[in-house]
Structure 1
Amino acid sequence: MLNKILKATISATIMAAAVPSFADTWKPDRPINIIVPWSAGGSTDQVTRVVAPILSEELGVAVVVVNQPGASGSVGTKTALEAPRDGYTWTANAIANNATYAVTGLLEDTSIEDYAVYLHVANAPLVSVNPSSPYEDFGQLLEAMRGEDVTVGTAGVNSSGGMALAAIKEAAGGEFGARMVTYDGGNPAVIAAVSGEVVATTQLAVEQTEMAKAGQLRPLAVLSDSELVVEGLDPVPPITKWLPEMDIAPDYFGVFIPVGAPDEVYETVSEIWERRIMNSPELQEYASSRGAVFAPSHGQEAIDRSMPVVIAEACARVDRGEAVVDPSEFGISCE
């Protein structure tokens, strides 16, 4: 897949480098739908609703966020891929999801090469527990996870929370008794931890910080090699404090436009991304207040930034026995 991605993005990179003239600027004449394949309130939904009004202002039409959850995000993603390739149906997600749906068998014959890529933030999963739980730090929780039936709420195996829990299990080694409880999105998974329906959640920090600030969650560790600092919260220690050999790759999120639309669609969106999104105070405020990293990019730069997490997640699927298609078929070596 890596070779295919690089070839497929050469033309997109060339388009991204040029500012379109008035004559070839796309002027949509009806609303644009961005399909968020997760429930409302989750990480993808949150940041897409920050970006959509900016795009709407620039394009002169409504940019509508449509939530279509199901099957770890693959249902809404499939809808976007099956829509007419006219530039009016986009999708949004963590890029590692779109790049690995085929590896896990959730979608057939698709990869990130099917989209023009526009990234905006990088997110990190956060391990938090219900405040009534006995766990005061991640070390205590990890010890319990190794031998007890600790319930952990996530948005499914292909979600950031699901992949985070699987990564923790792999890094911890040996016996692991934590049990994943799946919800239709990050927000419901977080609410389940707040209500005590599950003991913990491993969803993204941006989905948890408001509840943590309100004292309804107790953050224990961030899946990063540096602490998480968010105004209104005590610094959250990195998970590498307890699992120093754990591999960490930034989890990039963005908006993806299926390929096949007229060239002026991608040219216009690339120009808007360069001029507005990459300098957006609204997006910067969202990132700093919620615990995300402001990291917008597009074209080849976006592909280059995201390949470490794409490769890491594809190969992790193999290690965990979740892959139904070997990543090597897409040019990814896991050796």
Structure 2
Amino acid sequence: MRISPSLRWLAAAAALTASTVSAQTWPDKPITFVMPYSAGGPTDLVTRKVAQRMSESIGQPIVVVNAPGASTMIAAERVARAPSDGYTLLVGSVTTFSNNPLMYKNIRYKIDDFVPISMMAHTPYTLSVNPDLPVRNFAQFVDYAKQRPGKIFNATTGVGATNQLLGKILGGAVGVNFVDVPYKGSGPALLDVMGGQVHLLFDGINTSVPAHRTGKVRVLAVTSEKRSAALPDVPTFAELGHPNMTAAFWYGLFAPAGTPSAIVEKLNAELNAALNDKEIRNQLEGNGLTVDPGTPEALASTIKRDALAWGPVIKALGIQLE
């Protein structure tokens, strides 16, 4: 059956009108943030604080749903298939958008399946170890690990996650083959470092700082360019002779592609307002996080930059996954 040009025009006009009305009434029901990590980890904790403040502002509940696993791909696929109406959003990270597309042959989502809303925060990693290890500094830890080849376990948040890549880079530099133990989030990974089931974790600074201060882990180094104000006595990897270990973990908010620009603009404004809230900012920055509200365009540029930075590393390590 042939559809007349006038009917096609009417259909397009109706779709445009529906989109406009949707943007004007948004939000008129609860919003879901899909979190690719387990509850209790650094990304989860920050997201819940921000979601609560956004919820108070927009007058609708924001539910944070944890969907961990498969190097953040379970959560990403879920949001990629969601309606483009601004009610199902992804908390995506450098792993989701810069690392996974470079490593997985059969990845079931594309960067173009999403539209960036804004960066939320970024944080350096810390090399955190079990405090019962007989080591007080980085050099002692390396010596300890070298004496136990194949017996030092590195907790990671999945194959291809930045903390796994950092373990590979460091291991290659110091001549230690760390045994990777994957977890569905840094929350359970950190608990196992505390309990002695694994030896080390490259963890976000905002969760490792409280654990370090209470003696539950020992932080030996940070991946920031300069020392963190939250850990002034802990050296950077660059100070220790490993400048290629300078790295940060970032995360931001994303909507399914096709979400009306008016809704994206509203989400950007609400998210940035929450991140600029004095109480939230002081709390997050006090634990070493850098709060980083911005534009969708800035977040898109970060994705491209990190893909260029990590691409050669992933290739050199020979990581190619199904």
Alignment-mate amino acid for residue 252 of structure 2 = G
Given that 2:117 and 2:268 are in contact with CA atoms closer than 8 Å, whether structure 1 keeps it comes out as: no
Per the TM alignment, residue 96 of structure 1 is displaced from its structure 2 partner at its CA by 4.1
Distance 1:84-1:27 versus aligned 2 partners, 3 A rule: closer
Alignment of 1:89-100 (within 5 A): 89-100=88-99
Which one has a bigger Cα radius of gyration? 2
Distance 1:200-1:247 versus aligned 2 partners, 3 A rule: closer
Counterpart in the other structure of 2:65: 66
Per the TM alignment, residue 216 of structure 1 is displaced from its structure 2 partner at its CA by 0.9
- What 5-or-longer segments of structure 2 have no aligned partner? 1-21
Alignment-mate amino acid for residue 204 of structure 2 = L
Per the TM alignment, residue 124 of structure 1 is displaced from its structure 2 partner at its CA by 1.0
Per the TM alignment, residue 24 of structure 1 is displaced from its structure 2 partner at its CA by 6.0
Counterpart in the other structure of 2:235: 237
More divergent stretch after superposition (240-249 vs 189-198): 240-249
1:254 maps onto 2:256 in alignment: no
More divergent stretch after superposition (128-137 vs 255-264): 255-264
Given that 2:79 and 2:89 are in contact with CA atoms closer than 8 Å, whether structure 1 keeps it comes out as: yes
Distance 1:112-1:45 versus aligned 2 partners, 3 A rule: farther
TM-score by length of 2: 0.84
Counterpart in the other structure of 2:4: none
Q: Secondary structure of 1:297's partner? A: coil
For residues 18-75 of structure 1, the C-alpha deviation after alignment (integer angstroms, 9 at most, x for no partner) is: xxxxx96552111111000110011221111111012212322111100011112111
Distance 1:294-1:253 versus aligned 2 partners, 3 A rule: same
More divergent stretch after superposition (158-167 vs 43-52): 158-167
Distance 1:132-1:24 versus aligned 2 partners, 3 A rule: closer
Counterpart in the other structure of 1:283: 280
Given that 2:157 and 2:163 are in contact with CA atoms closer than 8 Å, whether structure 1 keeps it comes out as: yes
Counterpart in the other structure of 2:297: 300
Given that 1:27 and 1:59 are in contact with CA atoms closer than 8 Å, whether structure 2 keeps it comes out as: no
Counterpart in the other structure of 1:128: 128
Q: Secondary structure of 1:313's partner? A: helix
Q: Which runs of 4+ in 1 moved over 6 A?
A: none
Counterpart in the other structure of 1:319: 316
Counterpart in the other structure of 2:141: 141
What is the CA–CA distance in structure 1 between the aligned matches of 2:246 and 2:107, rounded to whole Å? Answer: 26
Per the TM alignment, residue 301 of structure 1 is displaced from its structure 2 partner at its CA by 2.2
What is the CA–CA distance in structure 1 between the aligned matches of 2:67 and 2:281, rounded to whole Å? Answer: 27
Counterpart in the other structure of 1:10: none
Q: Secondary structure of 2:292's partner? A: strand
**Percent of paired sites with the same residue:** 24
Q: Secondary structure of 1:187's partner? A: helix
2:163 equivalent among 161, 166, 170: 161
Given that 2:156 and 2:201 are in contact with CA atoms closer than 8 Å, whether structure 1 keeps it comes out as: yes
Per the TM alignment, residue 191 of structure 1 is displaced from its structure 2 partner at its CA by 0.6
What is the CA–CA distance in structure 1 between the aligned matches of 2:54 and 2:72, rounded to whole Å? Answer: 23
- What 5-or-longer segments of structure 1 have no aligned partner? 1-22, 326-335
Alignment-mate amino acid for residue 269 of structure 2 = E
Per the TM alignment, residue 112 of structure 1 is displaced from its structure 2 partner at its CA by 6.2
What is the CA–CA distance in structure 2 between the aligned matches of 1:25 and 1:166, rounded to whole Å? Answer: 49
Counterpart in the other structure of 1:209: 209
Q: Secondary structure of 1:191's partner? A: helix
Alignment-mate amino acid for residue 62 of structure 1 = P
Per the TM alignment, residue 131 of structure 1 is displaced from its structure 2 partner at its CA by 1.1
Q: State the number of aligned residues.
A: 299
Given that 2:166 and 2:245 are in contact with CA atoms closer than 8 Å, whether structure 1 keeps it comes out as: no
Q: Secondary structure of 1:180's partner? A: strand
Alignment of 1:103-114 (within 5 A): 103-105=102-104, 107-111=107-111, 114=114
Alignment-mate amino acid for residue 201 of structure 2 = T
For residues 70-95 of structure 1, the C-alpha deviation after alignment (integer angstroms, 9 at most, x for no partner) is: 11211111111111222111011323
Distance 1:134-1:243 versus aligned 2 partners, 3 A rule: same
More divergent stretch after superposition (37-46 vs 152-161): 152-161
Alignment-mate amino acid for residue 166 of structure 1 = K
What is the CA–CA distance in structure 1 between the aligned matches of 2:145 and 2:255, rounded to whole Å? Answer: 40
Alignment-mate amino acid for residue 76 of structure 1 = A
